[in-house]
Amino acid sequence: MKTVQAYRYALDLRPRDERGCRSHAGAARFAWNWGLARCAERYEAERKWYSAAALHKLWNAEKKTDPALAWWSENSKCAYQEAFRDLERALSDFVKSRNGKRKGRRLGFPRFKKRGKCRDSFRFGAGIMRCNGNAVTLPRLGTIRTHESTEKLASKIADGSARILSATVSRTAQRWFASFTVEVERDAPGRHARPGSAVGIDLGVKTLLTGVDDAGRVFEVAGTKPLRSSMRRLRKASRSHSRKVNGSANRRKSAARLARLHARVANVRADALHKATTALARQYETVVAEDLNVTGMVSSRRLARAVSDQGFGEARRLLAYKTGRAGGTLLVADRWYPSSKTCSACGWRKPSLTLAERTFACESCGHAEDRDVNAARNLLHLAVSGTERINACGAAVRPGDAGLAALNQEPGTAHAGKTGTASGKLAAVA
Ligand SMILES: [Zn+2]
């Protein structure tokens, strides 16, 4: 079974390498802006633009005749070509978003990139890309040492079970990374190590997640809340940054300090999410989570920081592929399924529940329980009642990307716990 996976390494750059990286990032930015200007002109006149291939042709003609572009040959031609591809994708995403064919936030027309205001990044789609234990080799840039070992990927490439498709080099704070997109041949996942095991998880604002499993065990994974704990330092750094004179060396230094703080926070969060989701996927064959409207929640200001801080969307993405790899499934309850408002003991539904109410108290049977535990218990019930339903609808339950398949279904066709039928099911379970 072939899957595509990313391998990311922090680079240990010599000054010469760093100049090369900056130059390539500048080339990619220039190509994006150059292509965008061409596309915007044509869009004004004809309501259409150029494909990446057409832009590449135009570019090849112009770079040879315009002496102002003579520097192009200092960088790999991939840097320009891949920037045109990115632009093509951004334009098509813009159209899809406008036609309602793309989920999430509405996208605007792509914008010009400004040095220092955009991400420094470029990609190689062809050429010599290798890794050998403690270094990577990239077109034009040559061999660059890495901070971590690249041995794992190197040996996979050596025995023919992996193939590098592309390499992206990007900068976060002051550190450069190379990320390889790799096609990996892996065994199709077998049966899960603990068949029949299931867990319901409630992604919380207070804790990272609360889970209840089929053996009745209740557990919590404490959130790292990295932003909140570092907020004081971040606030201080950004206040001091805002006082620095625009364009001064001090401002540049404080910007770097601020970026380092943000990068650290992101690392801590990513690490906590990886650990929690790996453990869940290993321990449980079926993981049931709710379908959070993450985009909607982030746009509500009150919840925005807490939600994006915990990385709900990322947690679900990780769970989907990790459960698949372990031979299990991620089931996603319908967005409108009232997991928090329903009594996990008798199925009674509370008409309204504010976020401030931390305990669920049932007015029908007297059951009282922590709100998140109650929600997780309801989701677990769906694992028991919902799996046959998903089976009956024809969607694969396992193995492989079954979790993703269930995720991608239109609401109401195969989601567990569609409003209305769910409470009946829960009553039957209770
Ligand atoms: Zn009840």
Report percent pLDDT > 90 for the chain: 47
Distance 93 CA to ligand 1 centre (A): 46
CA of 362 to the centre of ligand 1 (A): 5
Q: Is the pLDDT of residue 101 over 90?
A: no
Distance CA(121)–CA(249), nearest Å, equals: 23
Region 34-63: mean pLDDT is 94
Look at residue 425 in the predicted model and tell me its pLDDT: 29
More confident of the two residues 382 and 292: 382
What is the C-alpha R_g of the chain?
25
Q: What is the mean pLDDT of the chain?
A: 82
pTM of the model: 0.71
Q: Give the whole-angstrom CA distance, residue 221 versus residue 336.
A: 25
Q: Which residue has the tokens 């025995």?
A: 159
Confidence of residue 141 (pLDDT cuts 50, 70, 90): very high
In terms of pLDDT, which residue wins out, 313 or 110?
Answer: 110
Among 290, 291, 334, 369, the active-site one is 290
Q: How far is the CA of 348 from the centre of ligand 1 (A)?
A: 5
Query: Of the listed 309, 334, 372, 401, which one is catalytic?
Result: 372
Residue 202 appears among annotated catalytic residues:
yes
As a dihedral over the C-alpha atoms of residue 192, residue 207, residue 261, residue 321, rounded to 10 degrees, the angle is 20
Pick the catalytic residue from 86, 88, 120, 202.
202
Burial class of residue 5 in the structure, from the number of CB atoms within 10 Å of its CB (0-12 exposed, 13-18 middle, 19+ buried): middle
* 410 in active site: no
Residue 254: pLDDT over 90: no
428 Cα–ligand 1 center, Å: 13
Ligand 1 centroid to residue 366 C-alpha, Å = 6
Distance 389 CA to ligand 1 centre (A): 24
Residue range 145-163, pLDDT digits in tens: 999 999 999 999 999 999 9
428/34: higher pLDDT: 34
